Structure 1
Amino acid sequence: MKLAVVVFPGSNCDVDLYEALRLFPTVKVEYVSHKCADLSGFDGVLLPGGFSYGDYLRCGAIARFSKIMPEIVRMANEGKPVFGTCNGFQILTEAGLLPGALKQNDSLKFVCKTVAVRVENNKTPFTTRYQKDEVIALPIAHADGSYFADEETLAQLEANGQVVFRYADENPNGSLHDIAGICNEKGNVLGLMPHPERAVEALLGNEDGRRVFESLLEYGTVKTEEK
């Protein structure tokens, strides 16, 4: 499986994603510049955390106009897996690939700690290795992680099973419905505020995030066999 990790000006978790994927020998992973206009040959794309374009205007608002974004939209429309963590989630909402928005934490402070997260949907390409309702520990690090959407959108997300991860023991940022991560209707686009790439080895504190990538690789293997 060949995966692209997009690097925007201000990305600071691109290395985290890259190194997490390098743990799996069957993966070929490459850094791809935001200036790239062709993602043909890649089986999936990952948008890292950080502060793209310094978070000017709004988090992800400028990155949304990067040269690479039409290709990411194309891949999403083709059903290929698209994953965004933290700032990557913010970019996906700004680009309209996911509904809603991420606003400033209710505390008005940057929050950096490990939190309990419940797996609400284990049938996406990113969650098949988890059990439904399983509670895992993932690190967060954000100032603008409070998920917001209107009541109609929230109702649709809940009805369609698009809430993939939910904060379990505490809500660290004020997200409506305790939402930590959502997917699109097809399930191939996932936005997640916590950082699974920072929880892939025991050396990092725990391995609860590893199965996000194991699920993705399993999905890629199945898709390859179907061709």
Structure 2
Amino acid sequence: MTYTEPGPVDGRTGVGETPVRRTYWPLVGAAAGALGGISTLMLDVRMGMPDGPTDTMTIDRVNDVEVMVSRAGFLGGFAAVALLLVTAAAWRRRVEPRVPGSTAAGVVSLALVSAAGGLTLGYGWKGAMGIYGEGGPESDAFDVQGRYVYFMLNDFGAYIPWFGVLVAAGAVCWMALRERTVDRWIGWVGAVLVALPVIGFVVMSVPGLAAITMPLWMVVTFVGLTFGKSTITR
């Protein structure tokens, strides 16, 4: 663990206290979670349909997709992927050297990269729907059956890859509750947000449930790492 040298007493620190040096790189992870959550959940291709969002994915709904919603989800999603990769690189550089004996710390960066790879495809299919959907610049490239393929890919395309973030969340929970290098409250919040989709996997076999809670986990956890008292970021 690395500490800053004690500084002079100036009213903000007491005798013998070590000044706190905050690190703000985790806010990139919080931004990735927020932007990814918006791009996955709020900019689902079913948003903007005339009758409102629906779970009905039949071929007769293909031409109801609002291409501008698809494009927004694609652009926001690709930005979120870039931020995920930056977060993974920063974690590897700044956190892993502090806890060289922690397997869990290494899992976090690998899991975030895994999620980024899958989400690139998921958000890419949103972009394709924005191109080939009714009203898109190349809407005549496919007939309705061809567009239906992209419609189906968008059903879970930007949801399933959040499983990678779920694995990262589990690793951070281990670091918090077992290794004590992360604030314990982050571990307990993470345990709840991990347990909810895992229970759903077991009960309903819905593969995209991690997308419901993991964007929130990223926001809470990385803001907590920035302003909390975790060993790995102070």
TM-score, normalized by the shorter chain, greater than 0.5:
no
Structure with larger Rg: 2
Indicate the structure with greater helix content.
2
Task: Compare the two structures and name the one with the higher strand fraction.
Answer: 1
TM-score, with structure 2 as normaliser = 0.28
